[in-house]
Amino acid sequence: MKRFGLLGEKLGHSYSPRIHAMLCEYSYKLFKVAPEGLHNFMVENDLDGFNVTIPYKQKVMSYCSELSKRARAIGSVNTIIKRPDGSYLGDNTDYDGFLLIMEPVKNKVCGKKVLILGSGGASKTAESVLS
């Protein structure tokens, strides 16, 4: 069975395991990792891939041997695929999600000034979609 999960520091808010359990037949678990444990997680996990959340969307980029064009341009990774050789491909799928959410209101915000709070991976993605 394929093994996936969500990497983050605080995961109490996550519905990911329930959502993935309804969608597919694979293991999906939460991996609450303190900052000092990030390196060990990145080099020792036996997952097939994982999603990334606060505060690691930028920090995991240095562990990826390849970044998608979008992840490189945005400067944030929220999805990591482990290749057969053990190397990581980092991608940013938040972009598509935010773009989809913006679709119904794009005409209302197009050409307007928008305030984006924060400076992490999600804010970088929002900035990319809105620009």
Q: How far apart are CA 123 and CA 39, in angstroms?
A: 24
Rounded to the nearest 10 degrees, the angle between the axes of helix 121-130 and helix 94-102 is 50
Of 57, 82, 108, 124, the active-site residue reads 57
What residue has token string 């969307």? Answer: 57
User: Is 112 among the residues known to form the active site?
Assistant: no
Residues with Cβ < 8 Å from 50, sequence gap 6 or more? 4, 5, 6, 7, 31, 79, 80
Q: How far apart are CA 17 and CA 102, in angstroms?
A: 25
By annotation, the residues acting in catalysis are: 57
